[in-house]
């Protein structure tokens, strides 16, 4: 008969990981999201913003990290207010977070007002026509739910103009006006010294004055690090929750949350002078050992990173992966399902067919990976493919 060991007891009481996607053995790689680290990042941002409240922006499938598991974990950590991009995301969120306050950043598409009421989501209104439509819907239906007013203070993306504020401010004087949030968005928060930051903070201060009594929100992840003048009543971090550095150029105070590993399918010797991959863009300058890994651009591994001309030393730094604790460079072009790593520096026998190469994690941050691809961590995360075996650690 089997008896319970102490480790069994621990395993039985610790929360089990959430698993999705194909089984590990059937997938080319494993994507792990550390939910405890996401919650830790939220708490750290919350502490930095006190007394402001800390919401969470989980648009685009929580920056590719999985909307449902991330939302449940953050709700458990104490997060009450969430921002998503559209109604479809809001509906997914409502299904797992019955108590959450949900704001929809992209506002009301014509004819969609009733969809907000159906799931108790709040539109972020960024245009007078939207405001009129929402107002008409509330009158006709008797719906009491809230909405945000989004003002443009210098980004020129979405938002009501500041000139429209006085007329709308009169509106929040009437009882049951239904405006639960006034917000704006910073264009340059990740560049602390950019003059637009102070212009936007000042412009938003005027808006807060006009709408005093209504909760005010300006700061995204990087905005939190601009200090209390930007933090207002509520902060709206997204990227920093997932470990993207909110203070580029300075130390990253966030915990990494994502690990991506690709399976090594084959290790092949390549003679000096032989080339590897499509277009023969890389040629071995010494007898080499090449590991072929089952992750490619079809999995969100940006093809552009393998795309520098053969033999030319451009500004581009080749991407790297960690194999047996060693950083190894990618060689040749990225295929749809495969990449090649030069593992000549790894001791022979230290790595075998079936082992994993770490593509993100083990010291490779999402931000570092992004610089290899000529992009930002946001795009790396939101591009993570859906063929991986996915694991959410709790």
Q: Does 123 bind ligand PLP (CB under 6 A)?
A: no
Q: Does 258 bind ligand PLP (CB under 6 A)?
A: no
Total residues at the site for ligand PLP (CB under 6 A)? 11
Q: Does 126 bind ligand PLP (CB under 6 A)?
A: no
Residue from 48, 94, 138, 185 binding ligand PLP (CB under 6 A): 185
Q: For residue 257, which of 29, 42, 13 has the smallest C-alpha distance?
A: 42
Q: Does 28 bind ligand PLP (CB under 6 A)?
A: no
Count CB-CB contacts under 10 A for residue 10.
Answer: 9
Q: How far is CA 297 from the centre of its chain?
A: 19
Q: Does 122 bind ligand PLP (CB under 6 A)?
A: no
Nearest residue to the partner ligand PLP, using Cβ? 238
Token output for 64: 């590719």
Shortest reach from residue 225's CB to ligand PLP, in Å: 11
Shortest reach from residue 220's CB to ligand PLP, in Å: 3
Q: Does 207 bind ligand PLP (CB under 6 A)?
A: no
Q: Which is nearer to ligand PLP, 150 or 333 (CB)?
A: 150
Token output for 266: 């084959």
Q: Does 390 bind ligand PLP (CB under 6 A)?
A: no
Shortest reach from residue 58's CB to ligand PLP, in Å: 9
Residue from 27, 52, 93, 239 binding ligand PLP (CB under 6 A): 239
Shortest reach from residue 326's CB to ligand PLP, in Å: 33
Among residues 209, 261, 278, 388, the one annotated as catalytic is 278
Indicate the helix (H) or strand (E) that contains 125. strand 122-125
Q: Where are the alpha helices (DSSP H) in the chain?
A: 6-13, 35-49, 59-63, 67-77, 87-96, 113-118, 128-141, 165-171, 195-210, 221-224, 228-231, 366-372, 377-382
Question: For the chain, what's the residue count?
Answer: 394
Catalytic site includes residue 4: no
Residue from 153, 197, 215, 220 binding ligand PLP (CB under 6 A): 220
Contacts of 241 (CB under 8 A, 6+ apart): 38, 41, 42, 45, 56, 57, 63, 70, 74, 221, 254, 257
Catalytic site includes residue 59: yes
For the segment 297-356, give every residue that binds ligand PLP (CB under 6 A).
none
Per-residue interface string for the shown chain with ligand PLP, residues 42-81, x marking contact by CB under 6 A: ---------------x-x----------------------
- The rounded distance, in Å, linking the Cα atoms of 223 and 228 is 9
Shortest reach from residue 200's CB to ligand PLP, in Å: 12
Q: Which is nearer to ligand PLP, 342 or 367 (CB)?
A: 367
Contacts of 281 (CB under 8 A, 6+ apart): 275, 306, 308, 309, 310, 332, 333
Specify whether the CB–CB gap between 72 and 96 falls below 8 A: yes
Catalytic (active-site) positions: 59, 278
Residues near ligand PLP (CB under 6 A) are: 57, 59, 105, 185, 220-221, 236-240
């Amino acid at each position: 008969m089997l008896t319970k060991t102490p480790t069994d007891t621990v395993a039985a009481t610790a929360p089990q990981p959430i698993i999705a996607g194909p089984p590990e053995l059937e997938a080319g790689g494993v994507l792990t999201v550390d939910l405890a680290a996401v919650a830790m990042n939220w708490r750290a941002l919350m502490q930095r913003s006190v007394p402001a409240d800390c919401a969470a922006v989980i648009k685009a499938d929580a920056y590719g990290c999985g909307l449902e598991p991330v939302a449940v974990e953050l709700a458990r950590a104490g997060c009450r207010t969430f921002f998503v991009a559209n109604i479809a995301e809001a509906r997914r969120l409502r299904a797992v977070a019955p108590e959450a306050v949900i704001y929809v950043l992209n506002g009301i598409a014509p004819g969609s007002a009733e969809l907000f009421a159906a799931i108790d989501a709040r539109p972020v209104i960024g245009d007078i026509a939207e405001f009129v439509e929402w107002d008409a819907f509330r009158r006709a239906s008797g719906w009491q739910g809230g909405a945000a007013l989004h003002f443009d203070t210098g980004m020129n993306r979405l938002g009501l103009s500041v000139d429209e504020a006085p007329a709308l401010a009169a509106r929040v004087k009437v009882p049951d006006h239904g405006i639960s949030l006034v917000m704006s968005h910073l264009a340059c928060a990740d560049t602390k010294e950019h003059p637009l930051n102070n212009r936007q903070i000042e412009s938003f201060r005027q808006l807060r004055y006009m709408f005093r009594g209504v909760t005010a929100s300006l700061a995204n992840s990087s905005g939190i690090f601009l200090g209390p003048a930007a933090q207002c009543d509520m902060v709206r971090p997204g990227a920093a929750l997932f470990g993207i550095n909110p203070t580029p150029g300075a130390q990253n105070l966030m915990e990494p949350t994502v690990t991506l590993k690709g399976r090594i399918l084959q290790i092949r010797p390549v003679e000096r002078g032989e080339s590897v991959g499509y277009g023969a863009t890389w040629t071995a300058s010494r007898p080499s050992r090449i590991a072929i890994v089952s992750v490619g651009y079809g999995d969100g591994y940006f093809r552009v990173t393998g795309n520098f001309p053969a033999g030319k030393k451009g500004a581009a730094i080749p991407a790297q992966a960690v194999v047996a604790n060693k950083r190894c460079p990618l060689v040749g072009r990225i295929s749809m399902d495969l990449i090649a790593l030069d593992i000549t520096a790894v001791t022979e026998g230290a790595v075998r067919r079936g082992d994993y190469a770490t593509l993100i994690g083990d010291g490779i941050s999402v931000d570092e990976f992004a610089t290899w691809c000529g992009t930002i961590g946001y795009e790396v995360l939101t591009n993570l493919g859906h063929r991986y075996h996915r694991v959410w650690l709790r």
